[in-house]
Structure 1
């Protein structure tokens, strides 16, 4: 009969009594970097990132206030704007609206080298000119980003491995300065003991605990170190003196003054910062399990840096840069979600609006913060070593390029005053170990590839 189904079959040709296979594909598991965590887990994980990095913006604000001889009210305003900009920049990098930010778990901080250059310009030409220099540097960075896609081929795995290793080593030196009080200064035995206790507690928590407790090992190590400091007298929980809460002030030094010659050190810094941003972006992408795409992600990272720095110039702060401080935490804890750092950004915004909170966080003993930072930054250095393992270092040319680039990058780390006798633009390029090493690796690797191709072309 026309239209009748054969006996024992359904009209669709299926055997009776059997369920039809699902035609809809099973929903794919979310990318770890896009995982949304419950609030009960998110808050402590975000707080861990804040505790690991808050010393940088707080100390930068007080250092800048001291150098510029600001009043207590101006200091409070500067502290507030620094924390607010760190929080806003962290949110931009983590959420990436309008292609501003890479949607990776990054945090943003005042750059150490950038702050030094900002204060140098302020000392020589006044704070209004320094603010103008910050704005000019941010605009220059935005202007050159369309050309980055053409330059991305200059950063092969060898260059990235050298850059990431130097990032870790340079930041270990910064962490050592937190323990000693200043880079190169002898450490007090009590500070070394406190840092060692913090490292030991962090390591014990990471090795012995499981689940969410292991993921908060940095936070637990810092808490244990602070308790030991207070209980034994090895350190003190001492928040800075009372500073009244104050909202950010627009143009606190008056209208910005734009002087290209005075701004030259910061202009050069903004260009060379792309090398460090490339290394950090590749490292963070690999940490969260995403295939690195510098041509797409680095301009987004740098765009967020530029936007935050533009605001910093308007509100009288030093330039802000995306930091690798938290990448080691992500690696240690295994938590890859960018919403954790977005939560950290929200907490930083709260700290910026509530001065007592920021002072309380700043009261954690520096040796405790330094001990935690030593673990985090050493992990980053090891990641750089892992990236170099993918390069054929049995090739003598590759090995020599890596060796000379590492030497160029380590020189300003082991001898910080090496370039003090040179002009400011030379110091801004060669005085940063990461920038010097990355640029050396780019140039030498490019020359080696050209020579290799030329030799291959001469063969019959």
Structure 2
């Protein structure tokens, strides 16, 4: 009697699919909408204040300001969608939002003041292209910008732009009317009160609340006027609003250097966001994706008349507060920003804010940027005498053109452009001095005589 052939082994049951992580969680629409609005409220102050700083500095008309606000809101929304959802190698699929960079805007306005807005737009395009090109060299580039260098750069940007904010309050004549100073002071006071008294998303919107409240006070008391631009319907961003961009590598140096320093900032934000959503941090994989999305959005920003767009971590606080860490929430916030940017009544109403209100808000925004630089320097280990000397000398080099604007007046034009920019001069000095003291410290630790930096490869 023959034995029956053995039956084939049944395949093992398939393992159930892994549940989505917090970043990939799908949120019902009834919850998604209010969560998205909350994120928009928290980030709205940055694009609004950026546009009015730009409009005030470049003397834009109401219609031009409305078109620029439309462009910035649309870019912020599109960038948030790209970072949150990810397309190919662009965007890390983390709950990020994108905003116009405060420091980048400062450099854009300085370049426009010195060389004209067409050169400033060309500089944005060059900086975005450089960031896109150096992404494969990420590991090498990021080493040039440790906290000491980043702290010097950001501190100098903040100090330089506090001066620009003061010029906005002073107006074209350079001698402010007392009521302009009073209105700017009220703007700062209301912003401070909102920050001290409010909580959560409203506290994060303190700058926006200060602008709105001060505008109402100005209209009621006569300290200023609220003059929305005419028109209605939909707003359309203007392509190349300052004419054909002009490319000047020397004039673009401030923004070119800044675009490289953003790699260090992107690294910290990406690690922080990954930890927030419970995803293992992998900077080598995620940072290049974030940087590419920043660069791509910034290319469009240069064409639409604004400065570099940067991924922001300010909404991470909302994710922690609400416990909702889904990237679909920030994607919905991005879509809402695009809709808001295309609504002409909103853009044109915001275009009517009094200049002194914008200047007062700018004082707050740029003072915060300066403080960020101080905090970065505090993390740089300045207890070491070499590092403290490097930071001190770099700050001195960067502050010289701010306190003595005509110091390099007798030098060739390219020298005036490089050394006459406090941010460029200070950043370059910080990179060189940090490298010099690091080489010396390493040689001393190894029992060697300090090496001549000219012999280094």
**Taking structure 2 as the reference length, what is the TM-score of the superposition?**
0.70
Inter-CA distance 28–429: structure 2 relative to 1 (3 Å threshold): farther
The match for 1:440 is: 429
172, 191, 196: which is aligned to 1:202?
191
The match for 2:250 is: 265
Tell me how many residue pairs correspond in the alignment: 419
Stretch of structure 1 that moved more, 417-426 or 266-275: 417-426
- 2-structure distance, mates of 1:424, 1:243: 46
Matches for 1:155-166 after TM superposition, within 5 Å? 155-166=145-156
Alpha-carbon deviation of 1:444? 0.4
Inter-CA distance 317–64: structure 2 relative to 1 (3 Å threshold): farther
Stretch of structure 1 that moved more, 326-335 or 49-58: 326-335
Matches for 1:55-454 after TM superposition, within 5 Å? 55-57=49-51, 60=54, 80-81=70-71, 83-93=73-83, 96-101=86-91, 103=94, 104-108=96-100, 111-114=105-108, 117=111, 138-181=128-171, 185-242=174-231, 247=236, 262-265=247-250, 268-269=253-254, 271-278=256-263, 280-281=265-266, 284=269, 299-312=288-301, 316-318=303-305, 320-322=307-309, 345-416=334-405, 426=415, 429-454=418-443
Inter-CA distance 55–40: structure 2 relative to 1 (3 Å threshold): same
24, 34, 52: which is aligned to 1:40?
34
Q: Structure 1: 5+ residue runs without aligned partners?
A: 1-23
Stretch of structure 1 that moved more, 223-232 or 366-375: 366-375
**Taking structure 1 as the reference length, what is the TM-score of the superposition?**
0.70
Alpha-carbon deviation of 1:233? 1.4
- 1-structure distance, mates of 2:410, 2:271: 39
Inter-CA distance 197–121: structure 2 relative to 1 (3 Å threshold): closer
- 1-structure distance, mates of 2:33, 2:321: 14
Tell me the C-alpha RMSD between the 2 structures. Answer: 4.8
Alpha-carbon deviation of 1:107? 0.4
- 2-structure distance, mates of 1:329, 1:180: 33
Stretch of structure 1 that moved more, 196-205 or 408-417: 408-417
> Could you list the per-position Cα deviations for residues 230-255 of structure 1 after superposition, in whole angstroms to 9, with x for gaps in the alignment?
2211222122355886645668899x
- 2-structure distance, mates of 1:351, 1:146: 36
- 2-structure distance, mates of 1:418, 1:299: 40
- 2-structure distance, mates of 1:62, 1:220: 20
Q: Structure 2: 5+ residue runs without aligned partners?
A: 1-15, 450-457
Do the aligned residues in 1 keep the contact of 2:52 with 2:65 (CA within 8 Å)? Answer: no
- 2-structure distance, mates of 1:364, 1:193: 15
